[in-house]
A and B are shown apart, each in its own frame.
Chain A
Protein backbone atom coordinates (compact mmCIF):
# COMPACT_ATOMS: atom_id res chain seq x y z
CA UNK A 1 0.00 0.00 0.00
CA UNK A 2 1.32 3.44 -0.95
CA UNK A 3 0.27 6.49 1.07
CA UNK A 4 1.03 9.82 -0.56
CA UNK A 5 1.13 12.89 1.67
CA UNK A 6 1.12 16.41 0.29
CA UNK A 7 4.10 18.40 1.55
CA UNK A 8 3.32 21.54 -0.45
CA UNK A 9 3.15 24.91 1.30
CA UNK A 10 -0.52 24.93 2.15
CA UNK A 11 -0.56 21.41 3.60
CA UNK A 12 2.75 22.01 5.34
CA UNK A 13 1.17 24.92 7.19
CA UNK A 14 -1.75 22.68 8.16
CA UNK A 15 0.60 20.11 9.64
CA UNK A 16 1.77 17.65 6.99
CA UNK A 17 5.00 17.11 8.91
CA UNK A 18 3.06 16.02 11.99
CA UNK A 19 0.89 13.77 9.82
CA UNK A 20 3.99 12.14 8.32
CA UNK A 21 5.57 11.67 11.74
CA UNK A 22 2.41 10.16 13.25
CA UNK A 23 1.96 7.81 10.31
CA UNK A 24 5.56 6.67 10.62
CA UNK A 25 5.02 5.86 14.29
CA UNK A 26 1.76 4.02 13.59
CA UNK A 27 3.37 1.98 10.83
CA UNK A 28 6.18 1.06 13.17
CA UNK A 29 3.84 0.22 16.04
CA UNK A 30 1.83 -2.12 13.82
CA UNK A 31 4.96 -3.57 12.17
CA UNK A 32 3.74 -2.63 8.73
CA UNK A 33 6.90 -1.09 7.31
CA UNK A 34 7.23 -3.80 4.67
CA UNK A 35 3.59 -3.41 3.61
CA UNK A 36 2.95 0.34 3.77
CA UNK A 37 5.07 2.86 1.89
CA UNK A 38 4.98 6.60 2.64
CA UNK A 39 5.75 9.06 -0.09
CA UNK A 40 5.52 12.81 -0.57
CA UNK A 41 4.16 15.06 -3.27
CA UNK A 42 3.95 18.80 -3.82
CA UNK A 43 0.30 19.78 -4.13
CA UNK A 44 -2.62 17.57 -5.02
CA UNK A 45 -4.65 20.56 -6.16
CA UNK A 46 -7.07 20.51 -3.21
CA UNK A 47 -5.34 22.96 -0.89
CA UNK A 48 -8.59 23.90 0.91
CA UNK A 49 -8.96 20.33 2.14
CA UNK A 50 -5.40 19.86 3.42
CA UNK A 51 -3.61 17.98 4.71
CA UNK A 52 -4.15 16.12 1.46
CA UNK A 53 -3.46 12.39 1.58
CA UNK A 54 -3.95 9.74 -1.04
CA UNK A 55 -4.03 5.96 -0.82
CA UNK A 56 -3.62 4.80 -4.38
CA UNK A 57 -6.00 7.14 -6.22
CA UNK A 58 -8.40 7.65 -3.34
CA UNK A 59 -8.27 11.09 -1.72
CA UNK A 60 -8.48 11.80 2.01
CA UNK A 61 -8.45 14.99 4.01
CA UNK A 62 -6.41 14.38 7.16
CA UNK A 63 -5.26 16.62 10.00
CA UNK A 64 -2.68 15.87 12.69
CA UNK A 65 -5.64 15.19 15.06
CA UNK A 66 -7.36 12.70 12.77
CA UNK A 67 -4.33 10.66 11.71
CA UNK A 68 -5.09 7.74 14.05
CA UNK A 69 -8.71 7.57 12.94
CA UNK A 70 -7.63 7.72 9.28
CA UNK A 71 -5.05 5.01 9.91
CA UNK A 72 -7.35 2.52 11.60
CA UNK A 73 -10.20 3.11 9.14
CA UNK A 74 -8.23 3.03 5.93
CA UNK A 75 -4.94 1.32 6.57
CA UNK A 76 -5.46 -1.25 9.29
CA UNK A 77 -8.75 -2.45 7.80
CA UNK A 78 -7.24 -2.80 4.33
CA UNK A 79 -3.88 -4.34 5.00
Chain B
Protein backbone atom coordinates (compact mmCIF):
# COMPACT_ATOMS: atom_id res chain seq x y z
CA UNK B 1 0.00 0.00 0.00
CA UNK B 2 1.19 3.50 -0.81
CA UNK B 3 2.21 5.52 2.17
CA UNK B 4 2.02 8.96 0.53
CA UNK B 5 -0.16 10.76 -1.98
CA UNK B 6 2.66 12.43 -3.89
CA UNK B 7 6.38 12.16 -4.61
CA UNK B 8 6.87 15.58 -3.07
CA UNK B 9 5.71 14.15 0.25
CA UNK B 10 8.00 11.17 -0.26
CA UNK B 11 10.99 13.45 -0.85
CA UNK B 12 10.22 15.48 2.25
CA UNK B 13 9.88 12.24 4.17
CA UNK B 14 13.30 11.02 2.99
CA UNK B 15 14.92 14.21 4.24
CA UNK B 16 13.10 14.02 7.58
CA UNK B 17 14.09 10.42 7.93
CA UNK B 18 17.80 11.14 7.40
CA UNK B 19 17.75 14.10 9.76
CA UNK B 20 15.91 12.07 12.40
CA UNK B 21 18.27 9.09 12.06
CA UNK B 22 21.32 11.25 12.67
CA UNK B 23 19.60 13.02 15.55
CA UNK B 24 18.91 9.75 17.36
CA UNK B 25 22.57 8.79 16.85
CA UNK B 26 23.97 12.22 17.76
CA UNK B 27 25.67 12.34 14.36
CA UNK B 28 23.69 15.13 12.73
CA UNK B 29 26.33 17.87 12.87
CA UNK B 30 29.09 15.93 11.16
CA UNK B 31 26.73 14.50 8.51
CA UNK B 32 24.54 17.47 7.79
CA UNK B 33 26.35 18.41 4.57
CA UNK B 34 26.21 14.86 3.24
CA UNK B 35 22.45 14.38 3.49
CA UNK B 36 21.70 16.05 0.12
CA UNK B 37 24.16 13.74 -1.63
CA UNK B 38 22.78 10.69 0.14
CA UNK B 39 19.34 11.49 -1.24
CA UNK B 40 20.47 12.65 -4.66
CA UNK B 41 23.56 10.55 -5.43
CA UNK B 42 25.49 10.14 -8.69
CA UNK B 43 25.64 12.45 -11.65
CA UNK B 44 22.26 12.00 -13.26
CA UNK B 45 19.54 14.35 -12.05
CA UNK B 46 16.15 12.82 -11.30
CA UNK B 47 14.18 15.90 -10.27
CA UNK B 48 15.81 19.09 -11.56
CA UNK B 49 18.19 20.34 -14.25
CA UNK B 50 21.30 18.99 -12.55
CA UNK B 51 22.28 17.16 -9.38
CA UNK B 52 23.84 20.30 -7.98
CA UNK B 53 20.59 22.18 -8.01
CA UNK B 54 18.87 19.15 -6.54
CA UNK B 55 21.38 19.11 -3.71
CA UNK B 56 21.14 22.85 -3.16
CA UNK B 57 17.38 22.49 -2.75
CA UNK B 58 17.82 19.41 -0.55
CA UNK B 59 20.12 21.43 1.71
CA UNK B 60 17.24 23.87 2.16
CA UNK B 61 14.89 20.96 2.89
CA UNK B 62 17.32 19.76 5.54
CA UNK B 63 17.16 23.22 7.07
CA UNK B 64 13.35 23.08 7.10
CA UNK B 65 13.48 19.61 8.68
CA UNK B 66 15.60 21.16 11.41
CA UNK B 67 13.11 23.93 12.15
CA UNK B 68 13.70 26.37 9.27
CA UNK B 69 14.38 30.08 9.63
CA UNK B 70 14.21 30.70 13.37
CA UNK B 71 13.87 34.47 12.82
CA UNK B 72 10.51 33.97 11.13
CA UNK B 73 7.54 32.93 13.19
CA UNK B 74 5.46 31.59 10.27
CA UNK B 75 5.79 27.81 10.17
CA UNK B 76 5.24 27.84 6.40
CA UNK B 77 8.13 28.96 4.21
CA UNK B 78 8.95 29.18 0.53
CA UNK B 79 12.18 27.51 -0.58
CA UNK B 80 12.78 30.10 -3.27
CA UNK B 81 15.32 28.11 -5.28
CA UNK B 82 12.83 25.24 -5.44
CA UNK B 83 10.08 27.44 -6.86
CA UNK B 84 9.84 26.66 -10.56
CA UNK B 85 8.39 30.09 -11.29
CA UNK B 86 5.31 28.52 -12.89
CA UNK B 87 3.47 30.53 -15.53
CA UNK B 88 1.10 32.88 -13.80
CA UNK B 89 -0.69 34.44 -16.72
CA UNK B 90 -4.20 33.54 -15.61
CA UNK B 91 -6.81 32.48 -18.19
CA UNK B 92 -5.40 31.93 -21.66
CA UNK B 93 -6.77 30.57 -24.91
CA UNK B 94 -4.83 27.48 -25.94
CA UNK B 95 -4.30 26.02 -29.42
CA UNK B 96 -7.30 23.79 -28.79
CA UNK B 97 -9.50 26.73 -29.77
CA UNK B 98 -11.11 25.67 -33.03
CA UNK B 99 -12.56 29.03 -33.96
CA UNK B 100 -16.13 27.80 -33.69
CA UNK B 101 -19.29 29.68 -34.53
CA UNK B 102 -21.06 29.49 -31.18
CA UNK B 103 -18.74 31.83 -29.27
CA UNK B 104 -20.07 30.73 -25.91
CA UNK B 105 -16.95 32.22 -24.36
CA UNK B 106 -17.84 35.65 -25.69
CA UNK B 107 -21.39 35.40 -24.32
CA UNK B 108 -20.18 34.16 -20.94
CA UNK B 109 -17.73 37.03 -20.49
CA UNK B 110 -19.44 39.87 -18.68
CA UNK B 111 -16.47 42.15 -19.22
CA UNK B 112 -16.27 42.02 -22.99
CA UNK B 113 -12.72 40.72 -22.76
CA UNK B 114 -12.99 38.16 -25.56
CA UNK B 115 -12.27 39.10 -29.15
CA UNK B 116 -11.70 37.04 -32.30
CA UNK B 117 -9.04 37.23 -34.98
CA UNK B 118 -9.47 36.68 -38.70
CA UNK B 119 -9.33 32.90 -38.20
CA UNK B 120 -12.20 33.20 -35.68
CA UNK B 121 -9.82 32.15 -32.88
CA UNK B 122 -10.58 33.71 -29.51
CA UNK B 123 -8.25 36.05 -27.61
CA UNK B 124 -8.51 37.42 -24.08
CA UNK B 125 -7.91 41.12 -23.50
CA UNK B 126 -5.93 41.03 -20.26
CA UNK B 127 -6.77 44.65 -19.47
CA UNK B 128 -10.45 43.71 -19.21
CA UNK B 129 -10.26 40.11 -17.86
CA UNK B 130 -10.99 39.67 -14.14
CA UNK B 131 -10.02 35.98 -14.05
CA UNK B 132 -13.55 34.80 -13.23
CA UNK B 133 -13.21 31.68 -15.35
CA UNK B 134 -16.70 31.87 -16.85
CA UNK B 135 -15.33 31.48 -20.41
CA UNK B 136 -13.34 28.38 -19.51
CA UNK B 137 -16.41 26.72 -18.03
CA UNK B 138 -18.48 27.05 -21.19
CA UNK B 139 -15.91 26.20 -23.87
CA UNK B 140 -16.96 22.85 -25.40
CA UNK B 141 -13.33 22.11 -26.37
CA UNK B 142 -11.85 22.96 -22.94
CA UNK B 143 -9.64 25.32 -24.94
CA UNK B 144 -9.32 27.93 -22.21
CA UNK B 145 -6.77 27.09 -19.52
CA UNK B 146 -6.14 28.73 -16.20
CA UNK B 147 -2.43 29.36 -15.90
CA UNK B 148 -2.62 30.33 -12.30
CA UNK B 149 0.02 28.97 -9.99
CA UNK B 150 -1.11 25.93 -7.99
CA UNK B 151 0.02 27.59 -4.77
CA UNK B 152 -2.12 30.64 -5.46
CA UNK B 153 -5.09 28.46 -6.41
CA UNK B 154 -4.65 26.51 -3.17
CA UNK B 155 -4.37 29.61 -1.00
CA UNK B 156 -7.96 30.68 -0.50
CA UNK B 157 -6.99 33.43 1.92
CA UNK B 158 -4.92 35.03 -0.86
CA UNK B 159 -1.69 35.18 1.08
CA UNK B 160 0.53 34.18 -1.85
CA UNK B 161 1.90 36.65 -4.38
CA UNK B 162 4.77 36.62 -6.83
CA UNK B 163 7.93 38.49 -5.87
CA UNK B 164 10.33 40.46 -8.07
CA UNK B 165 12.32 37.28 -8.79
CA UNK B 166 9.15 35.62 -10.05
CA UNK B 167 9.07 33.18 -7.11
CA UNK B 168 6.15 32.65 -4.76
CA UNK B 169 6.07 34.84 -1.67
CA UNK B 170 3.91 34.45 1.44
CA UNK B 171 2.30 37.37 3.20
CA UNK B 172 2.85 36.19 6.77
CA UNK B 173 0.14 38.49 8.11
CA UNK B 174 -2.50 36.89 5.92
CA UNK B 175 -1.20 33.31 6.05
CA UNK B 176 -3.12 30.99 8.40
CA UNK B 177 -0.47 28.24 8.17
CA UNK B 178 -3.12 25.80 6.95
CA UNK B 179 -0.61 24.17 4.63
CA UNK B 180 -2.84 24.00 1.55
CA UNK B 181 -0.02 25.41 -0.60
CA UNK B 182 2.44 22.96 0.94
CA UNK B 183 0.32 20.05 -0.18
CA UNK B 184 -0.51 21.53 -3.59
CA UNK B 185 2.84 22.90 -4.83
CA UNK B 186 3.94 20.32 -7.44
CA UNK B 187 7.59 21.22 -6.87
CA UNK B 188 7.52 21.05 -3.10
CA UNK B 189 8.74 24.63 -3.00
CA UNK B 190 6.56 25.60 -0.08
CA UNK B 191 6.98 23.57 3.01
CA UNK B 192 6.24 23.46 6.73
CA UNK B 193 8.94 23.74 9.34
CA UNK B 194 9.53 20.52 11.20
CA UNK B 195 9.97 20.19 14.93
CA UNK B 196 11.04 16.58 14.67
CA UNK B 197 14.38 17.45 16.32
CA UNK B 198 12.59 18.93 19.32
CA UNK B 199 10.44 15.80 19.64
CA UNK B 200 13.44 13.47 19.45
CA UNK B 201 15.32 15.58 21.98
CA UNK B 202 12.36 15.45 24.37
CA UNK B 203 12.27 11.66 24.14
CA UNK B 204 16.05 11.22 24.41
CA UNK B 205 16.54 13.63 27.29
CA UNK B 206 13.78 11.92 29.26
CA UNK B 207 16.23 8.97 29.62
CA UNK B 208 13.58 6.34 29.12
CA UNK B 209 10.90 8.52 30.73
CA UNK B 210 12.79 8.46 34.02
CA UNK B 211 13.58 12.18 34.25
CA UNK B 212 10.12 13.17 33.06
CA UNK B 213 7.42 11.49 31.02
CA UNK B 214 6.76 12.21 27.35
CA UNK B 215 3.10 11.91 26.39
CA UNK B 216 2.02 11.52 22.77
CA UNK B 217 -1.35 13.09 22.01
CA UNK B 218 -2.73 11.76 18.75
CA UNK B 219 -5.44 13.44 16.73
CA UNK B 220 -8.48 11.32 15.84
CA UNK B 221 -7.78 11.68 12.12
CA UNK B 222 -5.02 9.13 12.74
CA UNK B 223 -7.74 6.52 12.18
CA UNK B 224 -7.72 7.43 8.48
CA UNK B 225 -3.92 7.29 8.24
CA UNK B 226 -1.37 4.47 8.33
CA UNK B 227 -3.91 2.36 6.46
CA UNK B 228 -1.24 -0.28 5.88
CA UNK B 229 -1.23 -1.18 9.59
CA UNK B 230 -3.61 -1.49 12.52
CA UNK B 231 -4.22 1.54 14.72
CA UNK B 232 -3.06 -0.51 17.70
CA UNK B 233 0.27 -1.04 15.94
CA UNK B 234 0.61 2.70 15.32
CA UNK B 235 0.14 3.20 19.06
CA UNK B 236 2.62 0.46 19.92
CA UNK B 237 5.10 2.04 17.51
CA UNK B 238 4.93 5.32 19.41
CA UNK B 239 5.87 3.50 22.60
CA UNK B 240 8.71 1.76 20.76
CA UNK B 241 9.93 5.21 19.76
CA UNK B 242 10.14 6.06 23.44
CA UNK B 243 6.92 7.83 24.29
CA UNK B 244 5.68 7.01 27.78
CA UNK B 245 2.06 6.66 26.77
CA UNK B 246 -0.35 7.59 23.99
CA UNK B 247 -3.58 9.49 24.57
CA UNK B 248 -6.37 10.42 22.20
CA UNK B 249 -6.63 14.17 21.62
CA UNK B 250 -10.30 13.30 21.01
CA UNK B 251 -10.71 13.19 24.79
CA UNK B 252 -9.81 16.87 24.70
CA UNK B 253 -12.48 17.24 22.04
CA UNK B 254 -15.02 15.68 24.43
CA UNK B 255 -13.94 18.19 27.08
CA UNK B 256 -14.25 21.07 24.60
CA UNK B 257 -17.69 19.95 23.36
CA UNK B 258 -18.91 19.83 26.94
CA UNK B 259 -17.81 23.32 27.91
CA UNK B 260 -18.25 24.94 24.49
CA UNK B 261 -21.91 23.91 24.38
CA UNK B 262 -22.44 25.56 27.77
CA UNK B 263 -20.64 28.69 26.57
CA UNK B 264 -22.83 28.74 23.46
CA UNK B 265 -26.03 28.55 25.47
CA UNK B 266 -24.87 31.40 27.70
CA UNK B 267 -23.65 33.70 24.94
CA UNK B 268 -26.23 32.84 22.29
CA UNK B 269 -23.73 32.94 19.42
CA UNK B 270 -20.31 31.40 18.99
CA UNK B 271 -17.72 30.41 16.45
CA UNK B 272 -15.63 27.33 17.17
CA UNK B 273 -12.02 27.62 18.28
CA UNK B 274 -10.75 24.12 17.52
CA UNK B 275 -9.18 24.82 14.15
CA UNK B 276 -6.15 27.11 14.56
CA UNK B 277 -6.17 28.18 10.90
CA UNK B 278 -9.82 29.26 11.20
CA UNK B 279 -9.10 31.23 14.38
CA UNK B 280 -6.08 32.85 12.75
CA UNK B 281 -8.23 33.75 9.74
CA UNK B 282 -10.69 35.56 12.01
CA UNK B 283 -7.77 37.35 13.69
CA UNK B 284 -6.32 38.54 10.40
CA UNK B 285 -9.40 39.12 8.25
CA UNK B 286 -12.40 39.47 10.60
CA UNK B 287 -10.98 41.05 13.77
CA UNK B 288 -14.39 42.63 14.47
CA UNK B 289 -15.79 39.11 14.99
CA UNK B 290 -13.11 38.03 17.48
CA UNK B 291 -15.44 38.49 20.48
CA UNK B 292 -17.57 35.66 19.11
CA UNK B 293 -14.74 33.11 19.08
CA UNK B 294 -15.18 30.45 21.76
CA UNK B 295 -12.93 31.02 24.76
CA UNK B 296 -12.15 27.33 24.94
CA UNK B 297 -8.67 26.22 24.12
CA UNK B 298 -8.44 23.72 21.28
CA UNK B 299 -8.90 20.02 22.13
CA UNK B 300 -5.11 19.56 21.90
CA UNK B 301 -4.37 22.37 24.34
CA UNK B 302 -7.27 21.50 26.66
CA UNK B 303 -6.08 17.93 27.11
CA UNK B 304 -2.40 18.90 27.33
CA UNK B 305 -3.31 21.36 30.07
CA UNK B 306 -5.13 18.61 31.95
CA UNK B 307 -2.18 16.24 31.63
CA UNK B 308 0.19 18.87 32.98
CA UNK B 309 -2.16 19.58 35.88
CA UNK B 310 -1.80 15.91 36.86
CA UNK B 311 1.88 15.54 36.05
CA UNK B 312 3.80 18.77 36.47
CA UNK B 313 6.93 17.48 34.79
CA UNK B 314 5.08 16.00 31.82
CA UNK B 315 6.16 16.83 28.28
CA UNK B 316 3.50 16.68 25.60
CA UNK B 317 3.99 16.03 21.90
CA UNK B 318 0.94 16.44 19.68
CA UNK B 319 0.80 14.34 16.53
CA UNK B 320 -1.80 15.27 13.95
CA UNK B 321 -2.69 16.15 10.37
CA UNK B 322 -2.16 19.85 10.80
CA UNK B 323 0.54 22.37 9.99
CA UNK B 324 -1.41 25.20 11.66
CA UNK B 325 -1.08 23.38 15.00
CA UNK B 326 2.63 24.16 14.75
CA UNK B 327 1.65 27.82 14.72
CA UNK B 328 -0.96 27.41 17.45
CA UNK B 329 1.62 26.23 19.97
CA UNK B 330 3.50 29.51 19.53
CA UNK B 331 0.51 31.34 21.06
CA UNK B 332 1.18 32.39 24.62
CA UNK B 333 -1.96 30.67 25.94
CA UNK B 334 -0.99 27.31 24.44
CA UNK B 335 2.81 27.38 24.70
CA UNK B 336 3.00 26.17 28.31
CA UNK B 337 1.02 23.02 27.55
CA UNK B 338 2.35 21.57 24.30
CA UNK B 339 6.09 21.04 23.84
CA UNK B 340 6.22 19.96 20.19
CA UNK B 341 3.91 19.31 17.25
CA UNK B 342 4.45 16.66 14.62
CA UNK B 343 2.44 15.73 11.54
CA UNK B 344 1.58 12.21 10.43
CA UNK B 345 4.18 12.63 7.66
CA UNK B 346 6.77 13.28 10.31
CA UNK B 347 5.61 10.35 12.42
CA UNK B 348 6.16 8.04 9.46
CA UNK B 349 9.68 9.42 9.14
CA UNK B 350 10.25 8.89 12.87
CA UNK B 351 9.25 5.24 12.65
CA UNK B 352 11.54 4.62 9.71
CA UNK B 353 14.42 6.56 11.27
CA UNK B 354 14.43 3.89 13.95
CA UNK B 355 13.70 1.06 11.50
CA UNK B 356 10.42 0.37 13.22
CA UNK B 357 8.11 -1.60 10.92
CA UNK B 358 4.82 -1.09 12.71
CA UNK B 359 3.15 -3.91 10.76
CA UNK B 360 5.27 -6.40 12.72
CA UNK B 361 4.35 -5.03 16.14
CA UNK B 362 1.70 -6.35 18.52
CA UNK B 363 -1.38 -4.16 18.93
CA UNK B 364 -1.79 -1.76 21.79
CA UNK B 365 -5.07 -0.19 22.85
CA UNK B 366 -6.15 3.41 22.38
CA UNK B 367 -9.32 4.09 24.31
CA UNK B 368 -9.89 7.47 25.92
CA UNK B 369 -12.58 9.34 24.03
CA UNK B 370 -16.22 8.99 23.05
CA UNK B 371 -17.74 8.65 19.59
CA UNK B 372 -18.34 12.40 19.59
CA UNK B 373 -14.79 13.38 20.48
CA UNK B 374 -13.49 11.14 17.73
CA UNK B 375 -15.68 12.52 14.95
CA UNK B 376 -14.20 16.01 15.47
CA UNK B 377 -11.74 14.83 12.82
CA UNK B 378 -14.26 15.32 10.04
CA UNK B 379 -16.41 18.21 8.96
CA UNK B 380 -19.71 18.29 10.87
CA UNK B 381 -18.42 16.27 13.82
CA UNK B 382 -17.91 19.26 16.07
CA UNK B 383 -21.48 20.47 15.52
CA UNK B 384 -22.84 16.98 16.21
CA UNK B 385 -20.86 16.90 19.45
CA UNK B 386 -22.11 20.30 20.59
CA UNK B 387 -25.73 19.26 19.97
CA UNK B 388 -25.10 16.06 21.92
CA UNK B 389 -23.36 17.86 24.81
CA UNK B 390 -26.32 20.22 25.24
CA UNK B 391 -28.64 17.23 25.33
CA UNK B 392 -26.51 15.39 27.87
CA UNK B 393 -26.39 18.45 30.14
CA UNK B 394 -30.16 19.01 29.78
CA UNK B 395 -29.54 22.54 28.55
CA UNK B 396 -32.55 23.92 26.75
CA UNK B 397 -30.96 25.71 23.84
CA UNK B 398 -31.63 25.21 20.16
CA UNK B 399 -28.39 25.07 18.19
CA UNK B 400 -28.53 26.16 14.61
CA UNK B 401 -25.07 25.27 13.39
CA UNK B 402 -23.56 26.25 10.07
CA UNK B 403 -20.99 23.64 9.17
CA UNK B 404 -18.21 25.34 7.20
CA UNK B 405 -16.29 22.76 5.26
CA UNK B 406 -13.13 24.55 4.16
CA UNK B 407 -11.97 28.14 4.51
CA UNK B 408 -14.10 29.45 1.62
CA UNK B 409 -17.28 28.35 3.38
CA UNK B 410 -15.91 29.88 6.57
CA UNK B 411 -15.45 33.18 4.77
CA UNK B 412 -19.05 33.13 3.49
CA UNK B 413 -20.44 32.48 6.97
CA UNK B 414 -18.25 35.16 8.56
CA UNK B 415 -19.25 37.72 5.92
CA UNK B 416 -22.91 36.92 6.56
CA UNK B 417 -22.39 37.23 10.31
CA UNK B 418 -20.73 40.58 9.82
CA UNK B 419 -23.80 41.78 7.92
CA UNK B 420 -26.15 40.16 10.43
CA UNK B 421 -27.77 37.94 7.83
CA UNK B 422 -26.45 34.60 9.06
CA UNK B 423 -29.27 32.21 9.88
CA UNK B 424 -27.31 30.28 12.50
CA UNK B 425 -26.03 30.66 16.04
CA UNK B 426 -22.95 28.48 15.83
CA UNK B 427 -20.22 28.55 13.19
CA UNK B 428 -18.21 25.35 12.94
CA UNK B 429 -15.13 26.56 11.13
CA UNK B 430 -12.72 24.07 9.59
CA UNK B 431 -10.06 25.48 7.31
CA UNK B 432 -9.38 22.25 5.43
CA UNK B 433 -12.01 20.77 3.14
CA UNK B 434 -13.35 17.64 4.80
CA UNK B 435 -12.15 18.81 8.20
CA UNK B 436 -8.92 17.64 9.83
CA UNK B 437 -8.77 14.57 7.59
CA UNK B 438 -8.04 17.02 4.77
CA UNK B 439 -5.06 18.44 6.66
CA UNK B 440 -1.80 19.13 4.88
CA UNK B 441 0.15 16.91 7.28
CA UNK B 442 -1.84 13.79 6.39
CA UNK B 443 0.02 11.00 4.65
CA UNK B 444 -2.94 10.28 2.42
CA UNK B 445 -6.11 12.12 1.51
CA UNK B 446 -8.61 9.53 0.34
CA UNK B 447 -12.31 9.38 -0.18
CA UNK B 448 -12.62 6.68 2.45
CA UNK B 449 -11.06 8.80 5.20
CA UNK B 450 -14.39 10.14 6.43
CA UNK B 451 -15.89 6.68 6.77
CA UNK B 452 -12.71 5.50 8.54
CA UNK B 453 -13.18 8.26 11.12
CA UNK B 454 -16.86 7.38 11.59
CA UNK B 455 -15.95 3.72 11.98
CA UNK B 456 -13.34 4.60 14.59
CA UNK B 457 -15.93 6.78 16.33
CA UNK B 458 -18.40 3.93 16.46
CA UNK B 459 -15.80 1.64 17.98
CA UNK B 460 -15.39 3.91 21.01
CA UNK B 461 -16.11 2.21 24.30
CA UNK B 462 -17.77 5.35 25.62
CA UNK B 463 -20.91 6.30 23.77
CA UNK B 464 -21.52 9.63 25.48
CA UNK B 465 -19.41 12.71 26.11
CA UNK B 466 -20.36 12.75 29.79
CA UNK B 467 -19.13 9.19 30.28
CA UNK B 468 -15.85 9.88 28.49
CA UNK B 469 -15.01 12.90 30.63
CA UNK B 470 -16.45 11.52 33.88
CA UNK B 471 -13.08 9.92 34.69
CA UNK B 472 -11.30 13.29 34.65
CA UNK B 473 -10.93 14.27 38.27
A9-B364, A9-B365 known; A42+B471 contact, CB < 8 A: no
Give chain A residues whose Cβ lies under 8 Å from the Cβ of B248: 9
Task: Report yes or no: B365 in contact with A13, Cβ–Cβ below 8 A.
Answer: yes
Q: What are the interface flags for A1-38 relative to B under an 8 Å C-beta threshold, 1 for contact and 0 otherwise?
A: 00001011110110011001100000000000000001
A41-B310, A42-B215, A43-B244 known; A16+B365 contact, CB < 8 A: no
Is B72 positioned at the interface, with any CB of A under 8 Å from its CB?
Answer: no
Give chain B residues whose Cβ lies under 8 Å from the Cβ of A8: 245, 247, 368
Is A72 positioned at the interface, with any CB of B under 8 Å from its CB?
Answer: no
Task: Report yes or no: A12 in contact with B247, Cβ–Cβ below 8 A.
Answer: no
Is B361 positioned at the interface, with any CB of A under 8 Å from its CB?
Answer: no
Which B residues between 381 and 418 are near A, CB-CB below 8 angstroms?
none
Q: Within the assembled complex, what's the spacing in Å between the Cα atoms of A8 and B365?
A: 9
Task: Report yes or no: B311 in contact with A41, Cβ–Cβ below 8 A.
Answer: yes
A41-B311, A42-B307, A43-B245 known; A9+B366 contact, CB < 8 A: yes
Q: Count how many chain B residues have C-beta atoms less than 8 Å from C-beta atoms of the other chain.
A: 22
Please tell me which one of the listed residues A13, A17, A41 contacts residue B470 in the complex, with CB atoms under 8 A apart.
A17
Is B56 positioned at the interface, with any CB of A under 8 Å from its CB?
Answer: no
- Give the nearest-CB partner of B235 in chain A: A9
Is B473 positioned at the interface, with any CB of A under 8 Å from its CB?
Answer: yes
Task: Report yes or no: A9 in contact with B473, Cβ–Cβ below 8 A.
Answer: no
Is B467 positioned at the interface, with any CB of A under 8 Å from its CB?
Answer: yes
Is B246 positioned at the interface, with any CB of A under 8 Å from its CB?
Answer: yes
Please tell me which one of the listed residues B307, B311, B471 contacts residue A5 in the complex, with CB atoms under 8 A apart.
B471
Is A39 positioned at the interface, with any CB of B under 8 Å from its CB?
Answer: yes
Most B C-beta atoms less than 10 A away, residue of A7, A17, A40, A42 = A42
Give min CB distance, A34 to chain B, whole Å.
Answer: 15
Task: Report yes or no: B461 in contact with A12, Cβ–Cβ below 8 A.
Answer: yes
Q: Using C-beta atoms within 8 Å of the partner chain, give the interface range for chain A.
A: 10 to 19
Give min CB distance, A23 to chain B, whole Å.
Answer: 10
Give chain A residues whose Cβ lies under 8 Å from the Cβ of B365: 9-10, 13
A10-B365, A13-B367 known; A40+B215 contact, CB < 8 A: no
Give chain A residues whose Cβ lies under 8 Å from the Cβ of B472: 7, 40
Task: Report yes or no: A42 in contact with B247, Cβ–Cβ below 8 A.
Answer: yes
Which B residues between 204 and 236 are near A, CB-CB below 8 angstroms?
215, 235
Give chain A residues whose Cβ lies under 8 Å from the Cβ of B470: 17, 20-21
Q: Within the assembled complex, what's the spacing in Å between the Cα atoms of A12 and B471?
A: 9
A39-B310, A42-B245, A43-B244 known; A9+B367 contact, CB < 8 A: yes
Task: Give the secondary structure class of B's interface.
Answer: loop
Is B172 positioned at the interface, with any CB of A under 8 Å from its CB?
Answer: no
Give chain A residues whose Cβ lies under 8 Å from the Cβ of B471: 5, 7, 12, 16-17, 20, 40
Give min CB distance, B313 to chain A, whole Å.
Answer: 13
Q: Within the assembled complex, what's the spacing in Å between the Cα atoms of A19 and B357?
A: 36
Is B462 positioned at the interface, with any CB of A under 8 Å from its CB?
Answer: yes
Give min CB distance, A14 to chain B, whole Å.
Answer: 10
Task: Report yes or no: B473 in contact with A40, Cβ–Cβ below 8 A.
Answer: yes
A17-B467, A17-B470, A21-B470 known; A9+B246 contact, CB < 8 A: yes
Task: Report yes or no: A9 in contact with B244, Cβ–Cβ below 8 A.
Answer: no
Which B residues between 425 and 473 are near A, CB-CB below 8 angstroms?
461-462, 467, 470-473
A8-B245, A17-B467, A43-B244 known; A38+B367 contact, CB < 8 A: no
Give chain A residues whose Cβ lies under 8 Å from the Cβ of B310: 39-42
Give chain B residues whose Cβ lies under 8 Å from the Cβ of A9: 235, 245-248, 364-368
Which B residues have a C-beta under 8 Å from some C-beta of A? 215, 235, 244-248, 307, 310-311, 364-368, 461-462, 467, 470-473
Which A residues have a C-beta under 8 Å from some C-beta of B? 5, 7-10, 12-13, 16-17, 20-21, 38-43
Would you list 19 pairs from A and B whose C-beta atoms are within 8 A, ordered by A residue? Answer: A9-B246, A9-B365, A12-B367, A12-B461, A13-B461, A16-B471, A17-B462, A17-B471, A38-B473, A40-B310, A40-B472, A40-B473, A41-B311, A42-B215, A42-B245, A42-B247, A42-B307, A42-B310, A43-B244
Contacts A9-B367, A13-B367 supplied; 10 other A-B pairs, CB < 8 Å: A5-B473, A9-B247, A9-B366, A10-B365, A10-B367, A12-B368, A17-B462, A20-B470, A21-B470, A43-B244
